[in-house]
């Protein structure tokens, strides 16, 4: 992973006019998206610190052990190549927020939306408003994001039952680059939480953490592939 890691630590993964250089390597982290609409954007508070710890321990990449919280209009949004959002309720972006998020994503940013049960309808509505010209498509099991440091031959792992439906991963692409990743009917963030929060078995938590590490490395590599 040396090559992709050095590329991202030098430029934080974002490209395009007007994109400022990123922060120092030791502040590389995952940014949690704060949004309006009533949904609990702050859900699963131990999830991202645990994922960041796994990334550091398993890859040697110098990431912070703490997440940061940003809003769509935050001046520091573009400092972060990996933007994460979750929650159980409604998501609503203003016109200005939609414009800022669209620009961030088209200029090289990455959004991982992790449905914590109840996010689906409003998230899909907002993505349609952001990208009316693009379809959210299901990712096949052979997509590169499932075959990074860890191999998932059947695609995204199942963490929580929710409706008992199979887990699915969806994406929105820009010129072959995956810029929005939507994990549905699985709830990876619950699997990243402290073991006593959801009483997930060790195998389930390990699968969730491995998928999270794959996602982070995929973003650092500037990953592409539909």
Residues 155-189: pLDDT tens digits?
Answer: 999 998 778 799 999 999 999 999 999 999 999 99
pLDDT of residue 26: 53
pLDDT of residue 13: 40
> Are 171 and 127 in contact, with CB atoms under 8 Å apart?
no
Specify the DSSP class assigned to residue 80: -
pLDDT of residue 181: 98
pLDDT of residue 135: 95
Strand arrangement of the beta sheet that strand 110-115 belongs to:
68-70, 31-33, 82-87, 110-115, 177-184, 168-174, 137-138
Residue spans of alpha helices (H) in 131-221: 188-192, 195-198, 202-220
pTM score, whole prediction: 0.88
Report the topology of domain 2-220: Rossmann fold (3.40.50)
Q: Which residue ranges in the chain fall short of pLDDT 50?
A: 1-23, 25, 224-226
pLDDT of residue 90: 96
Q: Domain spans of the chain?
A: 2-220
pLDDT of residue 8: 43
Residue appearing with tokens 């993505």: 127
Separation of alpha carbons 194 and 199, rounded Å: 9
């Amino acid at each position: 992973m040396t090559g992709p890691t050095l590329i991202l630590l030098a430029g934080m993964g974002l490209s395009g006019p007007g994109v400022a250089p990123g922060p120092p390597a030791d502040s590389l982290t995952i940014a949690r998206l704060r949004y309006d609409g009533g949904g609990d954007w702050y859900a699963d508070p131990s999830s991202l610190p645990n994922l960041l710890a796994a990334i550091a321990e398993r890859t040697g990449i110098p990431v912070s052990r703490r997440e940061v919280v940003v809003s769509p209009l935050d001046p520091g949004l573009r400092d972060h190549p990996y933007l994460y959002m979750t929650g159980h309720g409604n998501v609503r972006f203003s016109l200005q927020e939609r414009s800022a998020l669209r620009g961030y994503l088209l200029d090289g940013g990455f959004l991982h939306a992790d449905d914590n049960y109840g996010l689906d309808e409003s998230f899909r509505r907002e993505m349609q408003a952001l990208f009316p010209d693009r379809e959210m498509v299901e990712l096949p099991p052979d997509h590169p994001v499932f075959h990074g440091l860890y191999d998932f031959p059947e695609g995204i792992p199942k963490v929580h039952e929710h409706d008992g439906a199979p887990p699915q991963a969806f994406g929105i692409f820009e010129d072959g680059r995956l810029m929005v990743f939507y994990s549905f009917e699985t709830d990876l963030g619950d699997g990243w939480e402290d073991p006593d929060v959801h009483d997930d078995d060790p195998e389930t938590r390990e699968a969730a953490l491995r998928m999270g590490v794959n996602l982070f490395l995929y973003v650092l590599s500037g990953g592409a592939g539909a």
